[in-house]
Amino acid sequence: MTALLWRDLRLALRAGGGFGLGLAFFLIVTVLVPFGVGPETALLTRIGPGVLWIGALLACLLSLDRIFALDWEDGSLDLLATAPLPMEGIVSIKALAHWLTTGLPLVLAAPVLGVLLNLPPAGYLWVVVSLALGTPALSVIGTFGAALTVGLKRGGLLLSLLVLPLYVPTLIFGAEVARRGAEGLALQSPLLMLAGISFGVIALLPFASAAVLRINLR
C-alpha cells in the first residue's frame, strides 16, 4: 500500500496535474475576485470564505480525470485489479494521493490568499479547519466520479457534471464554517455536518468506487 501511494504521488507530481496546477488555479481565482467585485473591503471580508471554498473546489476538479486515466492507458489498472490488494484499498490510496497533491496544498495556501480577500484574523483558523475537514471528502467523491468515467474518451466534462452536484453539501457547510468562524458566530452545527459528510463519504464511497471499477474492467 505504501509503495502504491509513493508511486501515485510521483506520477501526480511528474504529470503536472496536481500540486502546481491546483495551486495556480486557486491563486488566479483569489486574485481575480477583488478585480471583479471592486476594492470595497467590507464586501471582500463578507464573501472571502465562500470565494476561498469555491476556488478550492474548482481546483480539486482540475486533476480528477487523471486519478485513474494514466493507469488505464498503460494497463496498470488491470494489474492492480488482479493484485492481492483489495480494490477498496487501492481506491482509498488513490484518493489519499489526490488529496496530498491537491487538497493539502490548498489548505496550506488558503491563509496566505485570505490576505487578498481581507479575511479577518479570527477567520484564518476556521478557513484552514474547514478546508482540512472538507477537502478529503472532495477527493473521495472525485475518485468515485473518476471511477465512473474511466476509459471514456473526453470524460473530463462528464466527470465534472457528475461530481459537482455531489460537491454542493460539502461546499455549503464548509463555507458556512469559515464564514461563521470569521464573524465569531456559533459554528457547531455546520462543523458537525461537514465532519459527518467527510467521514461518511470516506467510509462508504471507496466500496462504491471499487464496485464501479470492477464493472468497467470486465
- The pLDDT mean for the chain works out to 86
- CA distance to 68, 146, 159, 165, per residue, from 155 (Å): 12, 9, 6, 17
Question: What 3-state DSSP class applies to 40?
Answer: coil
Residue 18 has pLDDT above 60, yes or no: no
* Domain that includes residue 89, residue range: 2-216
- Report in angstroms the alpha-carbon separations of 15 from 9, 21, 59, 78, 175: 10, 10, 16, 21, 31
How much of the chain is in helix, strand and coil states, percent to nearest 5? 85, 0, 15
Question: What is the pLDDT at residue 136?
Answer: 95
Which contacts qualify for 31-37: CB closer than 8 Å, 24 or more apart? 31/116, 33/117, 34/116, 34/117
Q: How far is CA 36 from the centre of its chain?
A: 25
Q: How far apart are CA 210 and CA 144, in angstroms?
A: 8
Cell of 50: 465562500
**For 124-152, what is each residue's pLDDT tens digit?**
999 999 999 999 999 999 999 988 888 77
For the stretch 46-75, pLDDT in tens is 899 999 999 999 998 888 877 887 777 777
Domain count, the chain: 1
Q: Of residues 66 and 198, which shows the higher confidence score? A: 198
| Mean pLDDT, residues 192-218 | 91
Find how far residue 17's CA is from the centre of its chain: 13
Whether the pLDDT of residue 167 is over 80: the answer is yes
Residue 16 has pLDDT above 60, yes or no: no
